[in-house]
Amino acid sequence: MVRVMDLEELEQDALKRNIPVMQKEGILFLISQLQDMKATSCLEIGSAIGYSAMMMVTHVEGLQVETIELNDERYQEAVKNITERNLQDKITIHHDDALSFDVSQLQHAPYDCLFIDAAKAQYQKFFEKYVPFVLEKGIIIVDNLDFHGMIFDIDHIKNRNTKQLVKKIKRFKDWIFNHEDYDVEYYQIGDGICVIKRKEKE
């Protein structure tokens, strides 16, 4: 019988193969947020090989994760990982582009948490498309907002594509921090994480 790797080994294996998974500090922070609010549902944009989804459901009691992955190989690997660990009742995974995904297929809406961890240039689009499916008191978590610290020194970025990408991340950050409907808390954890909440109505 083939031995199933534990999640720690899976994370290390993914990193060796250059598959981007959430940094340890970041995932532990996300889990603590979900535990504190006793979340029962989370929608994740960007599953990769299912690491963060599996970490969430194995650490947060009663949590259902629904997750969307565009890349074919990663989706297949995520399905394999989830099935091998018998977590298919707790994780629903869709193989699609989250930007064109038919939202009528969402199975666990409305969600306590929306976790955005896919193409960084598209953060605002993901946010605007999926925020209507977040509960009034729910949270939106966005990772990688510092982009390895580059966001603080855009003028010195030499590579043109990287510069464009970092500018887009900064645009999202400025947009959300100045949005009249949301409160944003920034945490210097991992690569920079924001927790976004709707402002209380007066």
Stretch that binds ligand SAM, among 20-28, 104-112, 153-161, 165-173 (CB under 6 A): 20-28
C-alpha angle 50-114-111 in degrees, rounded to nearest 5:
105
**Residue 116 φ/ψ, nearest 5 degrees:** -100, 115
Residues 142 and 196: beta-carbon distance below 8 Å: yes
Contact 14, 48 (CB under 8 A): yes
- 119 touches ligand SAM by CB under 6 A: yes
Q: Does 169 contact ligand SAM by CB under 6 A?
A: no
Interaction mask 22-61, ligand SAM, x per CB under 6 A: x----------------------xxxx--xx---------
191 in contact with ligand SAM (CB under 6 A): no
**In the bound complex, what is the minimum distance in angstroms from residue 143's beta carbon to ligand SAM?**
8
Secondary structure class of 170 (helix, strand, coil): helix
**Nearest residue to ligand SAM, by Cβ distance, number only:** 46
Of 91, 98, 139, 193, the one binding ligand SAM (CB under 6 A) is 98
- Tell me the closest approach of the beta carbon of residue 63 to ligand SAM, in angstroms: 15
- Binding residue for ligand SAM, selected from 7, 99, 121, 184, defined by CB under 6 A: 99
Contact 201, 153 (CB under 8 A): no
Contact between 21 and ligand SAM per CB under 6 A: yes
Q: How far is the CB of 200 from ligand SAM (least distance, A)?
A: 30
144 phi/psi in degrees, rounded to 5 = 65, 35
Minimum CB separation of residue 9 from ligand SAM in Å reads 14
Q: To the nearest whole angstrom, how small is the minimum distance from the Cβ of residue 180 to ligand SAM?
A: 27
Contact 110, 138 (CB under 8 A): yes
Q: Residues 187, 193, 199, CA angle at the centre, nearest 5°?
A: 80
Determine, following the binding rule CB under 6 A, whether residue 130 of this chain makes contact with ligand SAM: no
Name the region of 189 (left: φ>0; alpha: ψ -120 to 50; beta: rest).
beta
The answer to whether 27 and 52 have CB atoms below 8 angstroms apart is yes
Q: Tell me which residues touch ligand SAM (CB under 6 A).
A: 20-22, 45-48, 51-52, 68-71, 74, 97-99, 117-119
